[in-house]
A = this chain, B = another copy of it.
Amino acid sequence: MTSQPTPADKFTFGLWTVGWQARDPFGDATRPPLDPVESVHRLAELGAYGVTFHDDDLVPFGSDTDSRDKHITRFRDALAETGMAVPMMTTNLFTHPVFKEGAFTANDRDIRRYALRKTMRNLDLAAELGAKTYVFWGGREGSEVDVAKDVRAALDRFREGIDTLAQYCVDSGYEIRFALEPKPNEPRGDILLPTVGHALAFINSLEHRDMVGLNPEVGHEQMSNLNFVHAISQVLWHGKLFHIDLNGQHGPKFDQDLVFGHGDLLSAFGLVDLLENGGPNGGPSYDGPRHFDYKPLRTEDIEGVWVSAAANMRTYLLLKERAAAFRADPDVQEALAAARVPDLSIPTLAAGETYTDLLADRTAFEDFDAEAAAERGHGASRVDQLFIEHLLCAR
């Protein structure tokens, strides 16, 4: 049985996930604070590979240097004891009121400078802890009132911020790549990089664009009712899947951060199939951490927190198992061929063919029988049903 997680599965969790105290817009915290050291131990016992965190998850905002050092030392000890890795780190630029109107793109210049400095300090720690990916979720980079934010200036400042920080990493010899995390809204009415598409486009404007990629999150794209499997395919196509946030969501509403698979299960299955079997030759298309960025339900006590943490990993492994069976099934291969899915990899122009040749090819237009071609069926329903039956282990 493959569904018992091990570090080889590369499952990681944010400290802020299991450690979420379950304060929501209408309610107070329902769970006590969780010591990051305990989280490391418990997650290690459950089979995780590592943890990730924002600076303030480990070291409370405003701590002095001594206190900061103590927090870090205790944490490093826990890592050493458990063998847990820290593959990703990030900055909290959204909780403190100082960031209420933005961080890298706040209208106030001194706040922008402060945000850069706060990030630089944590980049140093990231390098020290061996984190290879540094995530930028610009949750406060946005607005509620269109005319109160100059979006083009905001993009200038965002670019300036990322360029500056990238240069800092390069010059410091840090082996860190940046991963931007899009989200359409919440906490801001509209956030600056609302989808993976916008973030990919933005990256192309950067000086160090090669070291900047994406950290897409399941629920964030689904909040715009966009197809997450398509999103990840596009990010892979652009070579920018640097990290991934797995969770669940029920369509356009507040950010639910459900357990992976507890939202749109069919899409979760498609995603695992893509990550595990969607490589150019059929292998994994992504080999980084499978990172869960979820929130244990506010109704859960601490025992329920660990149940939900385990559920993320187990669901992933079950989906992985079913995806392997789907791909190995000869009926599936036959159905995909019947749907001409593999034919899309054949270039439209033959090797060496030019548009002049195409223009000269009467079978392509003058003699093309559009009516006959239109009659061909595409067999997508059959493929979909096979996919579902494999998910349900019904074949």
Are A253 and B225 CB-contacts (below 8 A) given A117-B359, A300-B380? Answer: yes
Report which of B98, B194, B379 forms a contact with A226, defined as CB distance below 8 A.
B194
Give the docked Cα–Cα distance between A114 and B358 (Å): 9
Report which of B28, B187, B233 forms a contact with A24, defined as CB distance below 8 A.
B187
> Is A245 an interface residue, CB under 8 A from the partner?
no
- What count of chain A residues pass the 8 Å CB interface test? 165
Identify which of residues 4-40 in chain A touch chain B, using a CB-to-CB cut-off of 8 Å: 22-30
> Is A71 an interface residue, CB under 8 A from the partner?
no
Contact between A364 and B113 (Cβ–Cβ < 8 Å)? yes
Report which of B147, B193, B250 forms a contact with A189, defined as CB distance below 8 A.
B250
Contact with B along A152-166 (1 / 0, CB 8 A): 111111001100110
In the assembled complex, the CB of A132 is this many whole angstroms from the nearest CB of chain B, namely 21
Are A151 and B343 CB-contacts (below 8 A) given A197-B196, A198-B197? Answer: no
Report which of B100, B108, B308, B314 forms a contact with A340, defined as CB distance below 8 A.
B108
Cβ-closest chain B residue relative to A223: B253
- Report chain B residues within 8 Å CB of A349: 113, 160, 164
Cβ-closest chain B residue relative to A378: B299
Which of A44-52, A78-86, A262-270 makes up part of the contact surface? Answer: A262-270
Q: List 28 A-B contacts (CB under 8 A).
A: A25-B187, A26-B139, A26-B140, A27-B99, A100-B299, A105-B344, A110-B368, A113-B365, A114-B370, A117-B359, A144-B384, A147-B384, A157-B344, A164-B355, A197-B198, A197-B201, A198-B234, A253-B254, A261-B388, A264-B266, A296-B381, A299-B380, A300-B381, A304-B378, A304-B380, A308-B381, A311-B382, A318-B392
